[in-house]
Structure 1
């Protein structure tokens, strides 16, 4: 088993995956673990929507509509939603709180999404996080049946890593540019 340190260094977005995806039961297990991220007041201001099979077309159609695409361009956009056998939509579901502002609740949902990508990586699945301006569109909101106040963060496209050896180490950042002292 790899360490958290190794997982963070090795994880990369996987634009190409096989048709094998985690089962519903496995997703429940992984989401339960991902849900252990730091969460001020334990609000759990997030939820995950599993999208499989033909339902993936709903995602593509909503993204095409949000982008104002028609005809061939819309079809091309819709096909992209079928690049992985499982899409995990991550939703911010803010809770009323005088102590925890919206931005902090959105950070918790983002933390859950990132933890989920690391857990999927550990299990041998590839994941690609897809976001964009369309996540906050009415078309996406309606297609995913979001409740009032909820916001889409994006989708984690998920499938098994193809069997292809490659160096999984990511390039290092210049840490001195990102860490300072006070």
Structure 2
């Protein structure tokens, strides 16, 4: 309950971020989320340091070539905000018989579980989406297949010293439930 009520999107992120080994360890825990058929219809692409900067630069150049300046940070800057960017790729299985919406729910559950586990370990994260998720150049650079979808990414690192998330107030949500009695 503490992790759920104190987790926040953290925008000020610095190093260190979890190592590849620590990320894999936390992902094992997050992968325990409900997943009809155990399909694991997702994969993560980890970008750090030079690779992260290179992807950001290439996407920024691509956006400039298209004349894309739709407000907000330039496309390249969107990509470089933390020491680790973990990109979530949705890879549904059409042959499984499991509806695609259930597979998407499984991928979403893994992402949220990972955010909670990162928070419990003292790391901060923020979910990112945006132009780069819809970019054909992003798909090409990251090796996204024709039947896959870029859902977004987690920017991950250590929260800045000023970040002290308050505990969320527990809302009364009883109006959102119904108990049927026969």
Q: Following TM superposition, by how much is the alpha carbon of 1:86 offset from its aligned partner in structure 2, in angstroms?
A: 0.2
Change (3 A) 1:91 1:59: farther
Runs of 4+ with >6 A deviation:
none
In structure 2, the residue matched to 1:168 is: 166
1:45 equivalent among 32, 41, 47: 41
Change (3 A) 1:180 1:64: farther
**How does the TM-score come out when normalised to structure 2?**
0.84
Structure 2 residues not aligned, in runs of 5+:
none
**How does the TM-score come out when normalised to structure 1?**
0.84
Q: What count of residue pairs does the alignment treat as equivalent?
A: 177
Matches within 5 A, 1:1-182: 5-57=1-53, 58-59=55-56, 61-62=58-59, 65=62, 68-69=66-67, 76-132=74-130, 134-164=132-162, 166-182=164-180
8 Å Cα contact 2:7-2:165 kept in structure 1: no
Task: Give the CA RMSD over aligned residues.
Answer: 2.6
Q: Following TM superposition, by how much is the alpha carbon of 1:60 offset from its aligned partner in structure 2, in angstroms?
A: 6.1
User: Which deviates more, 55-64 or 40-49?
Assistant: 55-64
Give the secondary structure class of the aligned counterpart of 1:78.
helix
Structure 1 distance, partners of 2:129, 2:68, is: 21
8 Å Cα contact 1:56-1:87 kept in structure 2: yes
Structure 1 residues not aligned, in runs of 5+:
none
Q: Following TM superposition, by how much is the alpha carbon of 1:66 offset from its aligned partner in structure 2, in angstroms?
A: 6.1
